[in-house]
Structure 1
């Protein structure tokens, strides 16, 4: 299981550690065997952009086909990925209000979908806009 980590200097180092530490999870995801069902496995990471102060990195694993991993709402996250063919950037935004707080976060999803690699990284002005901007579920853990 992926653990939460603390940033002290460079978020990139810790993100790489979180992603590389879960490589067996991603590599072990079986491709769809022609059954019409999709399968995938992702490592999801939320990291603050401002590394000048101590802040927590949040990460989660997500497995689809069947839904599982440490994600708090794997079935709904997998349903959104199914509709978007495994591409986080293709999931429609979840409309709704967010605070105007400026606390930038970088979200990333790395893994596979039906045997094809998938990578998504984007910086948002705060966690709320990150969660809503990616469908309201994928980074809500």
Structure 2
């Protein structure tokens, strides 16, 4: 989107500077020369501001959901099976007040339920910061934390 806007601005400036001298010649000389347009530089997104995550999932019981997947956002890509939906979920979570990658606090009261042996590890960059988080489904808090990141993490039940 930003590239398209910058490109439109550059093309518009080029068109205006090409048309103005011809128009001035038809009406007579201008008293002062036209200023040259300033060069427009595109902002460069730094790699650490982009979302680039490696998600490693195991013991889900579903071979298609297991393995190591790359996820890139803006634009969505990588080997993640549902990259667009995963990037959309991460974008939703970016506006929230809770960090979806934060571990469960040590003093949290969690239900004693077992959601299965699935585990996941997420490493990389999200919102310009380094991520290295582990996930499991060993109690109610961990299950909730995992489910909050679906479809970044697979939907295992």
Judging by fraction of residues, say which structure has more helix.
2
What's the TM-score, normalizing by structure 2?
0.45
Q: Which has the higher contact order (CA 8 A, sep 6+)?
A: 1
Larger radius of gyration: 2
- Normalised TM-score (structure 1): 0.49
